């Protein structure tokens, strides 16, 4: 038996690696990682010990299935950043859905290639003011 430390990265197939890198950097404040070694194959962004790696599709004209093969990618945020995300998504015209999972509140929306993104907060204090 062995133990893992946590998620190292999520690999996503995208139409345009650089556009995806910039989108995730701008929206989530993730840092560009390993560019000096790998360039854009894959393009990697992350925070702490968690990262997302973007791999180019074989044919950029073939539509990617929504959310597949990854069901969704979830980022954890505190209550203040949950509220800030709500406001930022509205300002950017990005449609999203709020869900109350009783122990966690989540906002769901799609990235540029149709991957489902979840922002979750376990901090339910002050939630009636969202």
In a structure prediction context, what are the per-residue pLDDT tens digits for the chain, which is 130 residues long?
Answer: 457 676 889 888 888 899 999 999 999 999 999 999 988 888 999 999 889 989 887 766 666 666 555 667 889 898 999 999 999 999 999 999 999 998 889 999 999 988 889 898 889 987 664 5
- Tell me which residue has tokens 């995806």: 20
Q: Report d(CA 28, CA 26) in Å as an integer.
A: 6
Sign, CA torsion 23/90/87/98: negative
pLDDT for the residue numbered 68? 53
pLDDT for the residue numbered 74? 85
Rounded to a whole number of angstroms, the CA Rg of the chain reads: 16
What is the pTM for the complete model shown? 0.72
Strand partners, 120: 76, 106
What's the CATH class of domain 1-58?
alpha beta
Q: State the burial class of residue 53 (Cβ atoms within 10 Å of its Cβ: 0-12, 13-18, 19+).
A: buried
Do the domains at 1-58 and 65-130 have one common CATH topology? Answer: yes
DSSP secondary structure letter of residue 127: G
* Helix, strand counts (H, E) of the chain: 3, 8
- Where are the domains positioned within the chain? 1-58, 65-130
pLDDT for the residue numbered 72? 77
Pairing verdict, β 73-76 and 97-100: unpaired
pLDDT for the residue numbered 1? 47
| CATH code of the domain made up of 65-130 | 3.10.180.10
């Amino acid at each position: 038996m062995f133990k893992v430390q946590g998620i190292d990265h999520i690999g996503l197939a995208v139409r345009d690696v650089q556009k995806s890198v910039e989108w995730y950097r701008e929206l989530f404040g993730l840092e560009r990682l390993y560019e000096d070694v790998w360039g854009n194959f894959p393009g990697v962004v992350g925070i702490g010990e968690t990262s997302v790696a973007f791999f180019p599709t074989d044919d950029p004209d073939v539509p990617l299935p929504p959310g597949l093969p990854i069901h969704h990618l979830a980022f954890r945020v505190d209550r203040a950043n949950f509220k800030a995300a709500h406001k930022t998504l509205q300002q950017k015209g990005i449609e999203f859905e709020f869900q109350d999972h009783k122990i966690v509140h989540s906002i769901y929306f799609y990235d540029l290639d149709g991957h489902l993104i979840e922002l979750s907060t376990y901090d339910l204090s002050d939630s009636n003011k969202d």
